[in-house]
């Protein structure tokens, strides 16, 4: 089934914080059998689409993010932009102002960063 990106998503909010998101309301054709897991497709307010898979038998939680853009999409007049933005993420932000503070946050929570452009 082809996803209808315009009409297939319905507004929702998270339970406790009442944060907005949209959930795809039609059945998903999964390429592989995911066993007893349940899945949902959601769209966040920034238009990022996420596939959420829940396995109640799992002993750990995991998350992975892949953004299908990088150095090959740099405009000709801004070569190196993707690489610069990758470095900026780990050099400090409003929420994590110190150099490598975000990286420390990730590793302190048993994750690992693997950014490539």
pTM of the full predicted structure?
A: 0.57
pLDDT digits (tens, 9 = 90+) for 48-102: 888 888 888 888 887 777 777 778 888 999 999 888 887 777 788 888 888 889 8
Average pLDDT of the segment spanning 12-37: 82
What is the per-residue DSSP string for 41-81?
EEE-TTS-EEEEEE-TT-SS-------S--GGG--GGGTTH
Phi, psi of 26 (to 5 degrees): -95, 160
Residue 8: both structure tokens together: 């297939």
- What is the arithmetic mean of pLDDT over 21-30? 84
Q: For the CA atoms of the chain, what is the radius of gyration?
A: 18
Q: Active-site residues: which are they? A: 86
- 21 beta partners: 12
């Amino acid at each position: 089934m082809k996803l209808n990106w315009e009409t297939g998503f319905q507004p929702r909010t998270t339970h406790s914080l009442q944060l907005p998101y949209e959930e795809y309301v039609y059945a998903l054709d999964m390429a592989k059998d995911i066993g007893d897991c349940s899945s949902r497709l959601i769209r966040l307010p920034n238009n990022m689409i996420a596939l959420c898979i829940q396995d109640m038998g799992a002993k750990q939680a995991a998350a992975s993010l892949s953004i299908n853009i990088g150095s090959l999409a740099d405009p000709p007049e801004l070569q190196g932009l993707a690489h610069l933005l990758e470095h900026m993420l780990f050099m400090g932000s409003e929420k994590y102002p110190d150099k490598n503070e975000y990286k420390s946050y990730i590793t302190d929570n048993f994750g690992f960063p693997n950014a490539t452009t």
